[in-house]
């Protein structure tokens, strides 16, 4: 018996997911941070191979290799003076802002960890 539900559109799903990319500006040009679930298979593999490993394990270019997986045009970003180290610091600051906003939304005070 055929499934009576209409098929889900993969194209619509992918288009919807694109909105999860995080825009940021460098010298008036917009770049996008790409969440791991929106990366290409190759970038996703590289990203997860490098995440959480010690620099000695992956080599001195690991931060740049990781950054290349995380933004849509690393070469354009670098041409405007962007660096992998500053990109990671920027992303850490964004994550901290989002954590603070989430805590504020949930009514968690700075001295609380939200576990209570």
Q: Which range marks the domain in which residue 70 is found?
A: 21-106
pLDDT at 112: 55
- pLDDT tens digits, one per residue of 52-76: 777 677 777 888 999 999 999 999 9
Total domains present in the chain? 1
pLDDT band at residue 3, thresholds of 50, 70 and 90? confident
Alpha helices in 1-116 (DSSP H): 10-17, 41-50, 55-58, 62-70, 74-79, 84-106
Contacts of 48 (CB under 8 A, 6+ apart): 36
- Compute the distance between CA of residue 73 and CA of residue 68 in angstroms, rounded to an integer: 8
In a domain, 111, yes or no: no
pLDDT tens per residue across span 71-91: 999 999 999 999 998 998 998
Cα-Cα-Cα-Cα dihedral sign, residues 41, 99, 104, 24 = negative
Please indicate, yes or no, if residue 7 is contained in any of the structural domains. Answer: no
User: Is 113 within the bounds of a domain?
Assistant: no
Residue 1 lies in a domain: no
8: in domain = no
Answer yes or no: is 35 within a domain: yes
């Amino acid at each position: 018996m055929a499934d009576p539900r209409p098929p889900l559109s993969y194209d619509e799903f992918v288009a919807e997911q694109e909105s999860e990319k995080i825009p940021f500006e460098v010298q008036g040009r917009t770049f996008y941070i790409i969440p791991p679930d929106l990366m290409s298979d190759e970038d996703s593999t590289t990203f997860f191979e490098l995440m959480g490993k010690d620099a000695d394990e992956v080599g001195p270019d690991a931060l740049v290799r990781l950054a290349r997986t995380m933004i849509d045009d690393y070469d354009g970003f670098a041409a405007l003076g962007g660096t992998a180290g500053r990109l990671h610091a920027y992303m850490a600051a964004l994550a901290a802002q989002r954590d603070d906003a989430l805590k504020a939304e949930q009514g968690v005070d700075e001295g609380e960890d939200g576990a209570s």
